[in-house]
Amino acid sequence: MRHFLKPSDLNAEERISVLNRARELKALTTPPTEQNLRVGGLYFNPSLRTRISWEQACWRLGASCQTINAGADSWKMEMNPHAVMDQDKQENIVEAAGVLGRYFHLLGVRSFPGTESWDVERTEPTLSAMCQYAGVPIVSLEGAMHHPCQSLADELTIREHFGNPEGLPVALVWAWHPNPLPMAVPQSFALQTALAGCDLRIVRPDGYDLDPEVMDEIRATGSKVTVTNDRAEGLKGVKVAYVKSWGSMPLWGQTDAEREFRSGLRDWQFDRNTWNLTDEAKVMHCLPVRRNVVLSGEMLESEHSLVFDEAENRLWAQAALIEHIAKREGLI
Amino acid sequence: MRHFLKPSDLNAEERISVLNRARELKALTTPPTEQNLRVGGLYFNPSLRTRISWEQACWRLGASCQTINAGADSWKMEMNPHAVMDQDKQENIVEAAGVLGRYFHLLGVRSFPGTESWDVERTEPTLSAMCQYAGVPIVSLEGAMHHPCQSLADELTIREHFGNPEGLPVALVWAWHPNPLPMAVPQSFALQTALAGCDLRIVRPDGYDLDPEVMDEIRATGSKVTVTNDRAEGLKGVKVAYVKSWGSMPLWGQTDAEREFRSGLRDWQFDRNTWNLTDEAKVMHCLPVRRNVVLSGEMLESEHSLVFDEAENRLWAQAALIEHIAKREGLI
Amino acid sequence: MRHFLKPSDLNAEERISVLNRARELKALTTPPTEQNLRVGGLYFNPSLRTRISWEQACWRLGASCQTINAGADSWKMEMNPHAVMDQDKQENIVEAAGVLGRYFHLLGVRSFPGTESWDVERTEPTLSAMCQYAGVPIVSLEGAMHHPCQSLADELTIREHFGNPEGLPVALVWAWHPNPLPMAVPQSFALQTALAGCDLRIVRPDGYDLDPEVMDEIRATGSKVTVTNDRAEGLKGVKVAYVKSWGSMPLWGQTDAEREFRSGLRDWQFDRNTWNLTDEAKVMHCLPVRRNVVLSGEMLESEHSLVFDEAENRLWAQAALIEHIAKREGLI
């Protein structure tokens, strides 16, 4: 059995097939007939787009969907299978995962990284345990390393506007934010667009590199990749600017030190002046966004913004993905 | 595009048509065939009847429905589109509304007034922003000024018991409550029954007037309206007593001063003695109700109480309303 | 109208009929056609299996289901119908129950015991009020005295593995836990297996007797029942070991005193050595379980464990139960 934890967990043929099917589904005016497919969504963190679009994607296919907010409407969960559970945790992830695997044919899981060192967080303790113990396909709804449903929707959005994106100049641009944010969205976007054959520019201040394993995988695609700390150079000629803030891996979990480190970078807001460095780029962001901090309100409201298209496309991309997995795994 | 924010947002013909359709739907034993209509409910405040009846109304029509509890299972929301979001708020209402407008064809929103001055609260900052930015019809599930789904259900309830209510003597009666409560329910009830042509009595202590704009709209209906602080006079001959507590507008947001102001009014409980002043009136309340404070347990349990009919009718009124809006706006 | 609050609320014929139907439903690959049945789930306590399986059971029948987390996504509830509600509670259970009875044809309710004396808690104040005021059939999703949906699923699980369990040697085995836990699961399991004709052993330390009323009802079944504090004697020859921790009734609500009382009983963990006292028993537990405290990880992961079967069977048992009640009460 295969899971879906990062963009490359679909091979090229599968990925294109899923993206094409997403567009077909979007164009349908009536859903397929009801199917006996039970899907869950397990959230260790807040969500808005993710929960709504995940549930709607299931319903669109005639599947059912249930949401579990871990620790809020369920029991406190112990993540260590070997723990002697005589403290306050009430359920071990081994049992929770096993039970969820009996109730659901397929399970989406959101688990942001914690404040352990990056060496620990990058191993995705929660997602890995779910994959190991649930016995059903797991779809990442954002982990420490990747947010593959987001980047699938992002590629769908790029294809809607540009057709086949091979060779398309696309930039991932770091932006200042009051807090160090997770790496999952930028890493998945970079890998997704490299897989799609884009001419990828990663534009970030020194100290904000992506995870080396992700960079290796990006380079292995054979697509052109440029990494630079010079916004003028990086944004020159780009047709898509994907704006995002993320944290510094060497300072992961050290919030105060990281804030100090980024204190001089507040001018990395993406505003009209930054946009003028591009070739009339479409502006993308996964949302939620710190308005007038990460992106200026002006750019968010401009005709160049695709942020709402991206959000809507979560629904269609995920519906196609679930259908693909359900067929692939013989669930429907 | 039109929204539904107050009772008069349906014209007379529409309102009657919706109410008649509500009764038809209630009499149906099977729902219409499934429709591809996606409805949301966004709650900034607690609910019981509202969420349940809103979801059931959607399902009754074959539509889907999703509930979002703002700030609990989603991100902290910034209400000012111009804010520089470098503090703790994670998502601006401009983006949140825009995204929800992509996921839903129609959106219910509950947003109680806050503790700003009444001059501010009466402008409905949250509902107004949703109307401005969501791009889909918004249905108020209670704002500062109105609770129009409640009063639609209330009129349905009155019609079930009295037929055409033109000329029917109906009283809105203030009651004591430990806290100053919102104005939405009493204001919508008064306007709704005036629109229906009732002989309306507003019976409240001095200092508890309804908003002048609502009073102007009530008077503009041409229906008979009496305002009095004398319960014996106001309740004489009435067939319906709608019991409700609400706050004093001049003291809005000044909880302690308001409590002091109402300290002498505790005898404004609606009990058997108060009921004896009416002409065997049906007793109504929107619920939740402070039992033995606002209404005596005896009256709540009496054969004259319609409180459960009102609650049930939320479902049928809302189903008819959603269908009406969906047809009107070309959504189905 | 009848409710379902404990295992014996179904007579023998009904119980067998429900269990057989559960297996039929489980074998179906497509659900019955949609039915106009509205079901609710009202939770005063956390849940994972219960909410998921309750909702899925409804959907499996084509019914709708809505979840209400009392006090979280609804109003604060006053349990005393005679209270003068001038404090912080916003809605009385009389009104809440009456309203829910208008929205739902059938209502599941979970209400764990509080910390009043056992004499009070055993009367099930919340479940009793719901039965009295809701006007629709109530299904207990766990009260102070019983968890009958769990034990129905447990009997289904036993029947799947052993066929007709008449005469089957079955043990309910107490286990140490850091906190005194409710009595509902062990009491329902004991009664359920006695009703099924098992040879029941209740194996627990002195001071951990079940409620006398439950014991009377168990003895009235005519099935063989043994109560012992000797694990070797009690587990000899048993084919099923149902492991569970529960509290000491005489010390109910006195958490510190109870913890002191059980401080010498930590060796009542069910591990490989305990299992060796049985006749290769299947090991059952309702979950959530304190791993390596109540049950060793080794036993939970062994081929003898049925804990996931039990959890899955909640779904099928409840679906059959709801269908049974809905037909019995003329709801479908």
Q: Is the pLDDT of residue A327 over 90?
A: no
pLDDT for the residue numbered C27: 66
Alpha-carbon distance C38 to B151, whole Å? 24
Thinking of the domain C7-146+313-328, which architecture would CATH place it in? Answer: 3-Layer(aba) Sandwich (3.40)
Q: Which residues of B touch A26 (CB under 8 A)?
A: none
Highest mean pLDDT among A123-127, A221-225, C2-6, C76-80: A221-225
Task: Write the DSSP string, A104-116.
Answer: -SEEEEE----SS
Instruction: Provide the pLDDT confidence category of residue A27 given band limits of 50, 70 and 90.
Output: low
pLDDT value, residue A321? 85
Rounded-to-10 torsion of CA B277, B278, B280, B283:
-110
CB neighbour class for A120 (10 Å; exposed up to 12, middle 13-18, buried from 19): middle
Query: Which pLDDT value is given to residue B33?
Result: 45
A262: pLDDT strictly greater than 70: yes
Closest C-alpha to C184, from C207, C214, C156: C214
pLDDT at C256: 92
Rounded CA gap, B203 and B209, in Å? 10
Q: What is the pLDDT of residue A316?
A: 85
- Tell me which of B268, B292, B299 to substitute to probe the interface with C (most C C-beta atoms closer than 10 Å): B292
Tell me what the pLDDT averaged over chain A comes to: 90
| Average pLDDT value for chain B | 90
The CATH fold of domain B150-310: Rossmann fold (3.40.50)
Chains A, C: CB pairs < 8 Å: 85
Average pLDDT over residues B132-150: 93
So what's the pLDDT on residue A5?
65
Output Rg (C-alpha) for chain B, integer angstroms: 20
The alpha-carbon gap from B163 to the nearest alpha carbon of chain C, in Å, equals 22
For residue C77, name the pLDDT band (cuts at 50, 70, 90): confident
Single-letter amino acid, residue C87: Q
- Which architecture characterizes domain A150-306 according to CATH? 3-Layer(aba) Sandwich (3.40)
pLDDT of residue A223: 96
pLDDT of residue B28: 60
Residues B103, A56: C-beta atoms closer than 8 Å: yes
Would you call B82 and A292 a contact, using CB atoms and an 8 Å cutoff? yes
pLDDT of residue B21: 65
- The answer to whether the Cα torsion of B6, B11, B16, B18 is positive or negative is negative
Q: Are B235 and B171 in contact (CB under 8 A)?
A: yes
Residue C31 DSSP label: P
Domain A7-146+311-328 fold is Rossmann fold (3.40.50)
Q: Show Cβ contacts of residue B327 under 8 Å, excluding neighbours closer than 6 positions.
A: none
A23: pLDDT strictly greater than 50: yes
Rounded-to-integer distance, Cα C263 and Cα C268, Å? 11
Q: What's residue A187's pLDDT?
A: 95
Percentage with pLDDT > 70 across chain A? 89
- Residues A219-228: contacts with CB under 8 Å, at least 24 apart: A221/A191, A221/A194, A221/A195, A221/A197, A223/A193, A223/A194, A223/A195, A223/A196, A223/A197, A223/A198, A223/A199, A224/A199, A224/A200, A225/A194, A225/A200, A225/A201, A226/A200, A226/A201, A226/A202, A227/A201, A227/A202, A228/A201, A228/A202, A228/A203
Chain B residues whose CB is inside 8 A of the C73 CB are 43, 46-47, 51, 69, 72
Look at residues A248, A180, A181, A179 and name the one whose alpha carbon lies nearest to residue A208: A248
A288-310 mean pLDDT? 96
Which stretch of A3-12, A95-104, A307-316, C171-180 has the lowest confidence by average pLDDT? A3-12
| Residue-wise pLDDT tens digits, A110-162 | 999 988 889 999 999 999 999 999 999 999 999 999 999 999 899 999 988 99
pLDDT at B29: 54
What b-and-e string marks burial along C205-244, b requiring 16 or more CB atoms within 10 Å of the CB? eeebebbeebbebbeebebebebeeebeebbeebbbbbbb
Tell me the average pLDDT of chain C: 90
Q: What local confidence, expressed as pLDDT, does residue A88 receive?
A: 87
Contact at CB, C48 and A91, closer than 8 angstroms: yes
pLDDT at A53: 94
Cα–Cα distance for residue pair C255/C177, rounded to 1 Å: 12
Domain positions in chain B are 7-146+311-328, 150-310
C291 DSSP 8-state letter: B
Note the pLDDT of residue A281: 98
Q: What is the ipTM of this complex?
A: 0.89
d(CA B190, CA C87): 28
Per-residue pLDDT tens for B81-96?
899 999 888 899 999 9
Distance between CA B29 and CA C40 in Å, rounded? 19
Helix axes B148-162, B307-328, angle to 10 degrees: 120
pLDDT band at C202 (very low <50, low <70, confident <90, very high): very high
pLDDT value of residue B62:
81
Between A22 and C116, where is the model more confident? Answer: C116
Fold match flag (A7-146+311-328 vs A150-306):
yes
How many beta-carbon pairs below 8 A join chains B and C? 86
CA dihedral A30, A35, A37, A42 (to 10 degrees): 20
Asked if pLDDT for residue C308 goes beyond 50, the answer is: yes
Whole-number pLDDT of residue C31: 43
Percent of chain C with pLDDT over 70: 89
Beta carbons of B66 and A49 less than 8 Å apart: no
Residue B117: pLDDT above 60?
Answer: yes
Give φ, ψ of B304 to 5 degrees. Answer: -85, -15
Phi, psi of B190 (to 5 degrees): -60, -45
Question: Does B293 contact C84 at a Cβ distance shorter than 8 Å?
Answer: yes
CB-closest option in B34, B75, B92 to A48: B75
Residue A31 scores a pLDDT above 50: no
Mean pLDDT of A53-70: 89
CB C150 within 8 A of CB C181: no
A291–B78 CB contact, under 8 Å: yes
Comparing CA positions, the residue from A68, B73, A38, A109 lying closest to residue C47 is A68
Per residue in A170-184, pLDDT (tens digit) is 999 999 999 999 999
Judge whether residue B31 has pLDDT over 50: no
Phi-psi map region of C28: left, alpha, beta (phi>0 left; psi -120 to 50 alpha): beta
Q: What is the pLDDT of residues B309-332, one digit of tens each?
A: 999 999 888 888 888 888 888 887
pLDDT of residue C33: 45
Mean pLDDT of A242-264: 94
What are the phi and psi torsion angles at A316 (to 5°)? -75, -40
Amino acid B23: pLDDT: 64
- pLDDT for C226-273, tens place per residue? 999 999 999 999 999 999 999 999 999 898 999 999 999 999 999 999
Q: How confident is the model at residue B17 (pLDDT cuts 50, 70, 90)?
A: low
Given B51, B56, B293, which is nearest C38 (Cβ)? B56
pLDDT tens digit sequence for C127-162: 999 999 999 999 999 999 999 999 989 999 998 899
B-interface mutation test, from C84, C99, C133, most B Cβ less than 10 A away: C99
Least confident of B118-127, B264-273, C21-30: C21-30
Say what percent of chain B tops pLDDT 90.
Answer: 68
Chain B residue with CA closest to A292: the answer is B84
Does an H or E element contain A96, and which?
helix A93-103
**Which positions in chain C have a beta carbon within 8 angstroms of at least one beta carbon in chain A?**
29-31, 43, 46-49, 51-53, 55-56, 59, 69, 72, 178, 287-293, 297, 300-301, 307-308, 311-312, 315
